[in-house]
Amino acid sequence: MAGHSDKPAKKEAMSDITILEHGSIWIEDGKIVEVGTDAEMREKYQGQLDSVTEIDASGKTVTPGLIDPHTHLVHAGTRENEYAMRLKGKTYMEIMESGGGIHATTRATQAASYETLYEASKKRLDKFLLHGVTTVEAKSGYGLTLEHELKQLKVAEQLRQNHPIDIVSTFMGAHAVPLDEKRNPEAFVTRVVEEMIPEVAERKLATFNDVFCERGVFTPEQSKRVLEAGKQYGLTPKIHADEIEPYAGAELAAEVGAISADHLLEASDAGIKAMAEKEVVGVLLPGTAFFLMAEFAPARKMIDAGVAVALSTDQNPGSSPTISLPFIMNLGCLKMNMTPEEVLTATTINAAHAIGCAGEAGSLEAGKKADITIFDVPNYLTLSYQYGMNHVDTVIKSGKQLVVEGRLQ
């Protein structure tokens, strides 16, 4: 994935993954020092080979550590009852409007203790690691009050300090309007803007600020107000855009200079064009479309239009209860007409750009963190060919082996 640290890969460049056969990586102090052929590296470092740890990846496929740029990591509770309701014909928005959906998870998260949230989220991170992921983005948004939004963000911050996976935090107080404020959503938007955002920024608990721009949730005008307020406090905009119906979310992402627009199942042609012009990364979440039995985002159209595309699990208890980024890669190929090369780019260097960490992660290049995933497959095509399987053999995070032969160390 070398050569795209300054700008994400677009169009044909998403297929240029730079394959090195019979390659080796030299790592020191948690950083990549050099990448080259095995013969070149053995000759250059022959005087040091007796004193280093050598990891044999013969017959396997070595990639950058996978990056998941859109998760709702910190939450309590599950919603399998809603899954059963949807199988009987209820829609996602119908369930949410009747008090379920995000509101159900909000009640569970508000009721959960800090320790309960921490332990549940740590278990999810361990599972991400077992699936080859070395960096995740984590959103709040199941608190909907200052107290509980801060609780979620503090859990993410403690996990960032204690867990080997890198965590980038996003404040998403504007995830839904609380049920008891449905009649006056403007008052809730004002509280997000005037009370929550300043406090989150003051405590330095988030890098990004997100909003669910969707009919029945937050209007484009309300969403713009939230995102512009975040910018005033140094929080970079992100946006849940055009998930259920076309709602000018992609256009808004371009207008406010968002780092990414996510979902985009129903993004308009004008919105896609605007995103490409303003270099907004399109984070696509095929697991959500799969689980909600909806149409998939038009990945092919976006890539051809010049949008840098990334992929993510959207890990959450309601619309995408999975932690398998490799399965998301399968869906990218099988349901969104992406190539195996494009899905690798979308889950490494482009995903890094979607959360602002491409300078240190997302590719195997000198100077970057030694975040590496080794898959027990003979070539990268097998990763998207054999679907629903976890081929992760070894995960190296900042030079340390954390998963060996598919097991946590």
Q: Choose among 188, 186, 244, 253: nearest CA to 215.
A: 244
Q: How many CB atoms lie within 10 A of CB 157?
A: 18
pLDDT at 100: 94
User: Residue 367 corresponds to which tokens in the numbers above?
Assistant: 């100077």
pLDDT at 61: 98
User: Residue 12 corresponds to which tokens in the numbers above?
Assistant: 């044909």
Q: What is the mean pLDDT of residues 56-72?
A: 98
Question: The tokens 């022959």 sit on which residue?
Answer: 46
User: Residue 91 corresponds to which tokens in the numbers above?
Assistant: 């829609």
Tell me how far CA of residue 384 lies from CA of 268, 328, 341, in angstroms.
28, 9, 10
pLDDT in tens, 333-381: 999 999 999 999 999 999 999 999 999 999 999 999 999 999 999 999 9
Instruction: Name the band, by pLDDT with cuts 50, 70 and 90, for residue 195.
Output: very high
pLDDT at 109: 98
Q: What is the mean pLDDT of residues 239-265?
A: 98
Distance CA 376, CA 391 (A): 5
Contact 61, 22 (CB under 8 A): no
Distance CA 207, CA 157 (A): 11
pLDDT in tens, 292-316: 999 999 999 999 999 999 999 999 9
Q: How many CB atoms lie within 10 A of CB 160?
A: 16
pLDDT at 303: 98
Q: What is the mean pLDDT of residues 21-29?
A: 97
| CB burial string 250-281: b at 16+ within 10 A, e below | bbbbbbbebbbbbbbbbbbeebbbbbbeebbb
Distance CA 200, CA 192 (A): 10
Instruction: Name the band, by pLDDT with cuts 50, 70 and 90, for residue 122.
Output: very high
Contact 253, 261 (CB under 8 A): yes
Work out the angle at residue 354's Cα, subtended by the Cα atoms of residues 349 and 356, and round it to the nearest 5 degrees.
Answer: 85
pLDDT at 230: 98
Contact 44, 79 (CB under 8 A): no
Q: What is the mean pLDDT of residues 92-97?
A: 90
DSSP string, 206-256: -SEEEEEE-TTSB-HHHHHHHHHHHHHTTPEEEEEESSSS--SHHHHHHHH
pLDDT at 73: 98
Instruction: Name the band, by pLDDT with cuts 50, 70 and 90, for residue 45.
Output: very high
Phi first, then psi: give them for residue 166, nearest 5 degrees: -75, 135
Share of the chain above pLDDT 70, in %: 100
Q: Choose among 218, 215, 217, 227: nearest CA to 256.
A: 227
pLDDT at 289: 97
Distance CA 155, CA 172 (A): 15
The per-residue pLDDT of the chain, averaged, comes to 97
Instruction: Name the band, by pLDDT with cuts 50, 70 and 90, for residue 257.
Output: very high
pLDDT at 33: 98
Q: What is the mean pLDDT of residues 220-239?
A: 98
Distance CA 328, CA 128 (A): 13
- Note the residue count of the chain: 409
User: Residue 263 corresponds to which tokens in the numbers above?
Assistant: 């979902």
Instruction: Name the band, by pLDDT with cuts 50, 70 and 90, for residue 74.
Output: very high
DSSP state letter for 156: H
The contacts of residue 245 (CB under 8 Å, 6+ apart) are 214, 215, 266
pLDDT at 274: 98
Tell me how far CA of residue 114 lies from CA of 153, 189, 373, 392, in angstroms.
11, 26, 31, 31
Contact 312, 281 (CB under 8 A): no
